[in-house]
Structure formats: structure tokens, C-alpha cells
């Protein structure tokens, strides 16, 4: 091995564009390593020009062997695989086949093409199951008790690695990481989902304030109490409610006597039948459920409403923001984002 090669170890990372793989690539690069990575899908800039990416399906016979022949790595980090317990429960067979078969392909290719390379196999702390409190904290020698399909796949991966160590003398390191979190972790994991929800809430608060909201209240459990505090007990003359079933009662409680309740949406479900006596008991309230079609039924009403809207837009009172776009071919993704409440403002499909 030449001097240059000794100074710059060569690493090959499967799953290099994933959560852990991308951080590992950064660390190797910062340490002066030459870094190669594999990805199931065409990489789009995450690894950057500093990482030489190879697109392949690891379960395809011979695919990883061809990459090893070209790269000749000193270290192989096998991070690719299905990593979600929830996904494993939803499709156990795909998880078992995916994690076990891809690891077998990596091991057999490394044995043939890179027998001197040190290989890292990633298992999981899930292999221990849920041991009782009296045996915690968990030690490495704790008996394995996999309690979900993902853990079963990882136990199998460990034994595949052990078999190659015993049969061929390969240099394999096995690790069993527990829960880890951080930037770049995709949705579908608890903390990443919470973080995305918090970010969405913060974006919603910023959007509301940017559009002129003097006060922003999160949730509806204390909606009336907050309105009472903000208004000094006077409450408000009008409430516009687009949520429906979940907020209807709280919205009524925000109205001052003779107030008007405008319900115009059912995102949480339709409002159940209303006892009109409640309107009188809460201060002779008024209730309406308008539709745009009724208010623009005549041509004159339609043009007047359109002109009023255009005036509001041109004056800046109403701001139209296109906050996300999707290629027309990905219209289904746009619908899913809307249904999951992952969008703000307008969404435009680009032909």
C-alpha cells in the first residue's frame, strides 16, 4: 500500500444519504478520508461532490461486489436497511427480506473482493427486547429477546456476521446502537415527527402574524379563557370557524352578547345538531353557515365580490403566498401533504 493510500483511508458507506450514514460521511471527510457511498435512489446533492456516490440495489446479486471491485475500501460501513419498528410491524416480510438479504450480499461480496477490509455491521438495541427493571441497565451479555420483526431481522444480521467471522476469519465489528436522534432524521420516527410538528406550528404562528393577526392562540381547550383575558372580558363580536365539530362549542363561548358565529368549514368533522336554545342562553347569538355559491349566485354579485377581492390583494390587505409547488406528475404527493396539514398558503402544481 502506497504512502498516499496510508494517509487517506478509503471508506465505503452503504446508505450514505440516510440519517446516520450522512453524518458518518461528514465525519470521515473531516478526518481526511476518501469517502464512497451507496444509495438506493439517485443521490441529489446530500453527499455533495466530496463523496463518490454509487446508485445500486444492494439485494441484487453481484451489485455490491462490482462496487467493491471499483472502490477497494479499507473500511466498509453497512448502514443501509429498513430501520423503523413501526414499518417492520406494517410489513414484517419486507423488513426481514430487506435487512437480512442485503447484509448477506454485503458480507459475501466483502469476503470475495475486500477480504482485508474491516466491516462494520449495525444491529440495534432492540434485540434485547424489553428486559425487566431488575436487570437494567442492559449489559452487552444480556440475553437476546427480540420482540418485533425489526429486532428479529437484526438478530439474524448478527448471526450472519458471526458466521462469516467463524468461517472465513473476516474482520467484522458489530454494534448495537439504541435510540439516536438529530438533524436529517426522516419523518416516521417519534422525535423527528415531534420536531416537524413543532416546526409546522411555529411556521403557522409566523404566517398568522405576518397576515395581521394581533394575537395567536394554540389549541382550543382554553380558547374562550384566552379570548376573555385578551379582551378584558368583553369577548368578540364575530367568530369565523373553519374547523367545525371540535371547536364549535369553544367558538360560541368566545362571542359577546348579540355576537355572530360564522361556521364555514368542517376540517374536524361536521358540527352536530345544535340546540337553538343554547344561542339565547349565551347572549342572543346569531349563527350562519354561508357558502360562496349563494353569495355569488348572480353575475353582479360575482363581479362585485371578485373586484373587492382584487382590490384587497392589490392594496396588500390580502397576501397570496405560494409556499410550496409540486410537479404535476406528483399531484398525489401534494394531496397527501395537504391532508397531513404539512402545507401553508397556496400550493401550485407545475406542468
Query: Cα dist. 113→10, 66, 117, 178, 341 in Å?
Result: 15, 9, 9, 31, 48
User: Is residue 13 over pLDDT 90?
Assistant: yes
Nearest CA to 110 among 75, 84, 82?
75
At residue 2, does pLDDT exceed 50?
Answer: no
CATH number at residue 94: 3.40.50.720
Instruction: Identify the band that residue 3 occupies on the pLDDT scale cut at 50, 70 and 90.
Output: very low
Q: Name the domain boundary from 175, 203, 234.
A: 175
> Which tens digits make up the pLDDT trace of 136-167?
999 999 999 999 999 999 999 999 999 999 99
Work out how many domains the chain is built from and give that number: 2
DSSP string, 152-192: HHHHHHHHHHHHHHHHH--EEEEE-------TTPPTTSHHH
Do the domain assignments include residue 91?
yes
> 340 lies in a domain?
no
Cβ(99)–Cβ(157) under 8 Å? yes
Q: Are residues 114 and 234 in the same domain?
A: no
Report pLDDT digits (tens) over 76-132. 999 999 999 989 999 999 999 999 999 999 999 999 999 999 999 999 999 999 998
**Residues 135 and 243 grouped into a single domain:** no
The span from the CA of 72 to the CA of 78, in Å, is 15
DSSP helix/strand/coil, 249: helix
CA 294 from chain centre, in angstroms, equals: 40
Report if residue 313 sits inside a domain. Answer: no
42 and 114 belong to one structural domain: yes
Q: Any idea what the Cα angle at residue 8 is, between residues 5 and 10, rounded to 5°?
A: 85
- Whether residue 292 contacts residue 302, with contact meaning beta carbons closer than 8 Å, is answered with no
- The whole-number pLDDT of residue 1 equals 40
**Of 124, 156, 175, which residue sits at a domain end?**
175
Q: Are residues 86 and 169 in the same domain?
A: yes
How long, in residues, is the chain?
A: 351
**Do both 136 and 271 map to the same domain?**
no
Q: Is the pLDDT of residue 204 over 80?
A: no
Say if residue 54 is in the same domain as residue 115. Answer: yes
Please give the Cα distance from 161 to 147 (Å, whole number).
21
Contact 44, 106 (CB under 8 A): no
Same domain, yes or no: 99 and 224: no
Residue 314 falls inside a structural domain: no
Q: What residues are paired with 37 via a beta bridge?
A: 13, 53
**165 and 16: one domain?**
yes
Mark whether 18 and 130 lie in a shared domain.
yes
Residue 74's SS3 state is coil
Q: How many CB atoms lie within 10 A of CB 248?
A: 23
Identify whether residues 37 and 94 lie together within a single domain.
Answer: yes
Residue 229 lies in a domain: yes
Half-sphere exposure of 208 (CA within 13 A, CB side): 12
- 148 occurs within a structural domain: yes
Q: Residue holding cell 420516527?
A: 189
Confidence class for position 42, pLDDT limits 50, 70, 90: low
Judge if 140 and 228 occupy the same domain.
no
| SS3 state of residue 73 | coil
Burial class (CB in 10 A: 0-12, 13-18, 19+), 300: exposed
Per DSSP, what are the bridge partners of residue 20? none
Determine the 3-state secondary structure of 310 from DSSP: helix
Q: How far apart are CA 58 and CA 234, in angstroms?
A: 66
Does residue 25 lie within any of the structural domains?
yes
| CA gyration radius, the chain | 29
Residue 325 inside a domain? The answer is: no
On whether both 109 and 227 belong to a single domain, the answer is no
Beta bridge partners of 39: 55
In which domain, by residue range, is 56 found? 8-175
SS3 85: helix
Residue 5, pLDDT > 50, answer no
Q: Given this model, what pLDDT does residue 237 score? A: 98
Predicted confidence band of residue 4 (pLDDT cuts 50, 70, 90): very low
Nearest Cα neighbor of 268 from 240, 242, 235, 301 is 242
User: Alpha-carbon distance 222 to 255, whole Å?
Assistant: 14
Give dist(CA 315, CA 309) in Å, integer. Answer: 10
- Cβ atoms within 10 Å of 123's Cβ, excluding its own: 21
Beta-bridge mates of residue 348:
325
Amino acid at each position: 500500500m502506497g504512502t498516499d493510500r496510508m494517509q487517506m483511508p478509503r471508506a465505503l458507506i452503504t446508505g450514505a444519504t440516510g440519517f446516520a450514514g450522512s453524518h458518518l460521511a461528514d465525519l470521515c471527510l473531516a478526518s481526511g478520508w476518501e469517502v464512497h457511498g451507496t444509495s438506493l435512489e439517485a443521490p441529489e446533492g446530500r453527499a455533495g461532490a466530496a463523496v463518490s456516490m454509487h446508485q445500486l440495489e444492494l439485494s441484487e446479486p453481484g451489485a455490491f461486489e462490482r462496487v467493491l471491485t471499483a472502490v477497494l475500501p479499507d473500511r466498509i460501513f453497512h448502514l443501509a436497511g429498513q430501520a423503523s419498528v413501526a414499518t417492520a410491524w406494517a410489513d414484517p416480510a419486507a423488513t426481514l427480506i430487506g435487512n437480512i438479504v442485503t447484509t448477506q450480499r454485503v458480507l459475501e461480496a466483502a469476503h470475495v473482493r475486500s477480504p482485508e477490509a474491516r466491516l462494520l455491521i449495525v444491529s440495534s438495541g432492540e434485540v434485547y427486547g424489553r428486559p425487566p427493571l431488575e436487570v437494567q441497565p442492559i449489559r452487552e451479555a444480556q440475553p437476546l429477546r427480540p420482540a418485533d420483526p425489526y429486532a428479529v431481522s437484526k438478530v439474524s444480521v448478527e448471526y450472519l456476521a458471526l458466521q462469516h467471522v467463524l468461517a472465513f476469519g473476516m474482520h467484522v465489528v458489530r454494534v448495537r446502537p439504541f435510540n439516536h436522534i438529530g438533524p436529517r432524521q426522516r419523518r416516521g420516527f417519534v422525535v423527528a415527527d415531534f420536531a416537524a410538528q413543532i416546526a409546522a406550528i411555529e411556521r403557522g404562528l409566523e404566517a398568522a402574524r405576518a397576515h395581521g393577526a394581533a394575537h395567536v392562540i394554540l389549541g382550543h381547550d382554553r380558547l374562550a379563557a384566552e379570548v376573555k383575558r385578551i379582551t378584558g372580558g368583553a369577548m368578540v363580536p364575530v367568530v369565523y370557524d373553519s374547523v367545525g365539530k371540535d371547536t364549535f362549542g369553544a367558538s360560541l363561548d368566545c362571542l359577546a352578547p348579540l355576537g355572530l358565529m360564522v361556521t364555514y368549514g368542517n376540517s374536524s368533522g361536521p358540527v352536530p345538531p345544535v340546540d337553538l336554545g343554547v344561542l339565547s342562553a349565551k347572549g342572543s347569538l346569531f349563527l350562519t353557515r354561508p357558502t360562496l355559491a349563494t353569495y355569488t349566485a348572480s353575475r353582479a354579485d360575482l363581479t362585485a365580490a371578485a373586484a373587492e377581492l382584487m382590490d384587497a390583494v392589490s392594496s396588500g390587505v390580502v397576501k397570496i403566498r405560494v409556499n410550496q409547488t409540486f410537479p404535476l406528475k406528483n399531484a398525489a404527493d401534494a394531496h397527501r401533504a395537504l391532508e397531513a396539514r404539512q402545507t401553508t398558503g397556496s400550493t401550485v402544481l407545475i406542468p
